[in-house]
Each structure stands twice: as structure tokens, then as C-alpha cells.
């Protein structure tokens, strides 16, 4: 059953408050603390899932990138350490002859001599660069247009608390447990400071 962001927060709060004294828990805004912890917990959980070859596909998301002069900007949710396990395709090419590109680390991207493949890489912290098949690397690059990138991404909170979480149930379970544990630790610290 899909969870909304609000339901995930409630589940984590309820699990974290199990066994806590009512007088202590009533003085804490556990929902606000859980929402504050969510981005850090989600990053940690998703990195752990991505590190497992058998579970990494649970985090795959499709991104539409618009290339200008061979460059496009990646969104902050992309797990760049696992970009090598991504797939980039030309969304506008003929379905039967759809162009696919191979990932190369940036030094190999710049030095590539085999022009049979289109290649892409990451330059800096958030720029994806692309060189078309049968085109030699040059500066500036020339590729342009829309491409689809399927890559592992961090689960983010939706725009509204009542929106559904965009991730499989296995990931939701891990997020809920990790958020409960993080929240329990924060609440214990705050309760100790208030005593």
C-alpha cells in the first residue's frame, strides 16, 4: 500500500515514541523533528540501498535532460556515485534505432578515441556532458536536444504532505525504520536536555 509523506512521518513518530514517558513526549514536536531529519535519513538510506547491486534498481528514476552545447544540469537527487549504473538514451530518435550512450569517467570521456559510441560523463558537481556517436571530442561540445537518463536517485519528500511517496514499498520500509531510529535518538537527547 502506498504511503503519503504525512503517513510516513506519522509512522516514524509513533514507532519512535513507543515506550517513552507521556510527560516527556508531550513536550516535543516530534513531527517537526522528523521532517527536519528526513532529508539526511533519506540520503543515508538511499546510499545504503544503492551500494547493494541487487537493490540498486529500486532507486531508478527517469530524468529528462535538455542538452545545450553538450551540457545539462543534474538535479540534486541524483546519486552521482552510482551514475556509472545509469542509462542515457536519445528520446527523439527513431524507436527502432534509438541512440544509447555509454558512461565514462571524465578523464576517459575527454580522451576517448573510439567514436562508434556516444558517451557521457559528469564534470564538476552537477554537469552531465555528452558526445554524440561518430563525433570527436571537442571544446565546446556540440550535442543538443532532449535525452532520458535512468539513474539511481535519493527519495525526496513530495511537494505536499498528502502526496504519495515516489518509491517502492521496500524503500519506504527502510526509510520508516531509519527515520524512527534517528528520531528516537534526537528525542532522547532533547528529553535529557530538558530534565
The pLDDT tens digits for 10-31 are 889 888 887 766 555 554 678 8
Q: Is residue 14, in this structure, part of any structural domain at all?
A: yes
Cell of 23: 510527560
Residue 111 lies in a domain: yes
Does residue 158 lie within any of the structural domains?
no
pLDDT tens digits for 129-141? Answer: 999 888 877 888 8
Strand 118-123 versus strand 100-103 pairing type: parallel
pLDDT at 27: 47
Asked if residue 130 lies in contact with residue 118, where contact means CB atoms within 8 angstroms, the answer is yes
* pLDDT of 171 over the 90 cut: yes
pLDDT value of position 29: 79
Is the overall model pTM greater than 0.85, yes or no?
Answer: no
Do the Cβ atoms of 31 and 13 come closer than 8 Å? yes
Check residue 47 and give its pLDDT: 96
**85 and 127 inside one domain:** yes
Q: Distances in Å between the alpha carbon of 138 and those of 56, 141, 142?
A: 34, 6, 8
Q: Which of 35-44, 94-103, 178-187 has the lowest mean pLDDT?
A: 94-103
Establish if 163 belongs to a structural domain. no
The span from the CA of 130 to the CA of 127, in Å, is 10
Domain that holds residue 32: 5-54+168-194
Question: Which spans in 71-168 are helix H?
Answer: 106-111
The stretches of the chain forming alpha helices (DSSP H) are 5-17, 22-25, 30-50, 106-111, 169-194
**Domains of the chain: total:** 2
Burial letters for 113-131: b for 16+ Cβ neighbours within 10 Å, e otherwise? eeeeebbbbbeeeeebbbb
How confident is the model over 92-109, as a mean pLDDT? Answer: 80
**180 plus 133 within the same structural domain:** no
Domain annotation covers residue 93: yes
Q: What CATH code is carried by the domain that includes residue 86?
A: 2.40.30
Same domain, 25 and 91: no
* Per-residue pLDDT band at 51 (split at 50, 70, 90): very high
Structure confidence by residue, pLDDT tens digits, 140-160:
888 899 999 999 999 999 999
Task: Clarify whether residues 102 and 128 are in a common domain.
Answer: yes
Q: Do 49 and 68 fall within a single domain? A: no
102 and 178 assigned to the same domain: no
Amino acid at each position: 500500500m502506498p504511503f503519503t509523506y504525512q503517513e510516513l512521518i506519522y509512522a516514524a513518530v509513533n514507532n519512535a515514541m513507543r515506550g517513552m514517558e507521556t510527560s516527556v513526549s508531550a513536550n516535543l514536536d516530534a513531527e517537526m523533528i522528523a521532517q527536519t531529519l528526513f532529508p539526511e535519513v533519506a540520503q543515508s538510506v538511499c546510499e545504503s540501498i544503492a551500494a547493494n547491486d541487487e537493490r540498486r534498481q529500486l532507486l531508478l528514476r527517469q530524468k529528462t535532460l535538455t542538452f545545450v552545447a553538450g551540457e545539462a544540469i543534474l538535479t540534486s537527487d541524483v546519486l552521482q556515485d552510482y551514475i556509472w549504473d545509469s542509462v542515457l538514451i536519445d528520446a527523439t530518435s527513431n524507436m527502432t534505432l534509438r541512440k544509447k550512450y555509454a558512461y565514462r569517467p571524465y578523464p576517459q570521456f575527454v580522451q576517448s578515441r573510439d567514436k562508434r559510441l556516444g558517451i557521457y560523463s559528469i564534470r564538476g558537481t552537477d554537469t552531465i556532458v555528452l558526445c554524440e556517436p561518430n563525433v570527436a571530442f571537442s571544446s565546446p561540445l556540440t550535442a543538443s536536444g532532449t535525452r532520458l537518463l535512468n539513474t539511481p536517485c535519493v527519495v525526496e519528500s513530495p511537494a505536499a504532505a498528502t502526496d504519495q511517496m515516489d518509491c517502492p514499498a521496500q524503500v519506504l520500509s527502510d526509510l520508516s525504520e531509519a527515520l524512527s531510529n534517528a528520531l528516537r535518538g534526537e528525542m532522547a537527547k532533547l528529553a535529557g536536555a530538558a530534565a
